[in-house]
């Protein structure tokens, strides 16, 4: 966190010599396609497969512009889901199936370098710190004709925080001569650090220091998301 604040301060100083000064204050929400990807899961075939999952974010942002270039800091409360499906089998004969979901509750703090045009179009790029508040695993299915449900807290299996890269683009649509505007955009995120965690059956994926019982070698877990950004922006010049 100290490194992020230091980088923000350095960017502020470097941009202060450019152009007209403006501040954007924003309230925004994101609707995302969300995934947790791990090679050990990908190698399991039909016994574990990825399924589409959706998450959301909402929060506030502040951006400082000098001319067409600026920096922004955001605080977002985020739900990141990952879904899986699988088939149980014995000697290649199917005996059941399941669906599962991992739900991460997180706080995201992106620090973004921004470039905008005089028409309101923008591009943003930068690092993001994510703190994982909780992780919940849920699974339901059928085995040999018997239904089952399972739910457990798996927060201890996940890293407490991780760093991602963020890339986004979109446009701010002004409401006439008012300082208010509508924000519409697309944002992509990819984690650079290992989240660890559990697989689609709720089994530990281990860590570099302790690969665990279920997999002979540890593979990193990456959080991936992409989706729509919608918000309101208020500009002070």
CATH code for the domain defined by 26-236? 2.40.160
- The confidence band for 237, taking pLDDT boundaries of 50, 70 and 90, is confident
> Taking residues 56-66, what's their average pLDDT?
95
- The confidence band for 213, taking pLDDT boundaries of 50, 70 and 90, is confident
Answer yes or no: pTM beyond 0.95: no
Residues 6+ apart with CB under 8 A from 29: 56, 57, 58, 229, 230, 231
* Residue 222 clears pLDDT 60, i.e. is over it: yes
229 membership: H or E segment, kind and range: strand 221-236
* Residue 23 clears pLDDT 60, i.e. is over it: yes
Q: Residue ranges of the domains in the chain?
A: 26-236
Per-residue pLDDT of 73-123, as tens digits, reads 999 999 999 999 999 988 888 899 999 999 999 999 999 999 999 888 999
Helices and strands in the chain: count of H runs, count of E runs: 2, 10
**pLDDT score, position 211:** 82
* More reliable by pLDDT, 123 or 177: 123
Q: What percent of the chain has pLDDT over 70?
A: 92
């Amino acid at each position: 966190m100290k490194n992020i604040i230091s980088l923000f301060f350095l960017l502020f100083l470097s941009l202060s010599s450019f152009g007209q000064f403006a501040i954007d204050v924003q309230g925004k929400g994101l609707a995302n396609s969300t995934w947790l990807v791990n090679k050990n899961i990908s190698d399991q075939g039909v016994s574990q497969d990825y399924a589409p999952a959706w998450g959301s974010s909402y929060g506030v942002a502040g951006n400082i512009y000098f001319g067409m270039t600026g920096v922004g800091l955001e605080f977002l409360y985020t739900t990141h889901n990952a879904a899986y499906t699988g088939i149980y089998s014995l000697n290649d004969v199917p005996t059941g199936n399941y669906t599962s979901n991992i739900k991460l509750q997180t706080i995201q703090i992106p620090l973004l370098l921004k470039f905008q045009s005089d028409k309101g179009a923008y591009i943003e790029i930068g690092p993001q710190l994510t703190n994982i508040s909780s992780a919940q695993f849920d699974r339901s299915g059928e085995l040999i004709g018997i239904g089952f449900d399972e739910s457990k807290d798996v927060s201890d299996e996940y890293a407490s925080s991780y760093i991602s890269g963020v890339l986004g683009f979109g446009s701010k649509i002004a409401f006439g001569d008012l300082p208010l505007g509508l924000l519409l955009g697309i944002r992509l995120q990819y984690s650079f650090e290992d989240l660890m965690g559990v697989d689609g059956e709720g089994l530990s994926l281990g860590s570099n220091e302790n690969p665990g019982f279920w997999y002979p070698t540890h593979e990193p877990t990456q959080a991936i998301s992409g989706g729509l950004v919608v918000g309101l922006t208020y500009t002070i010049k």
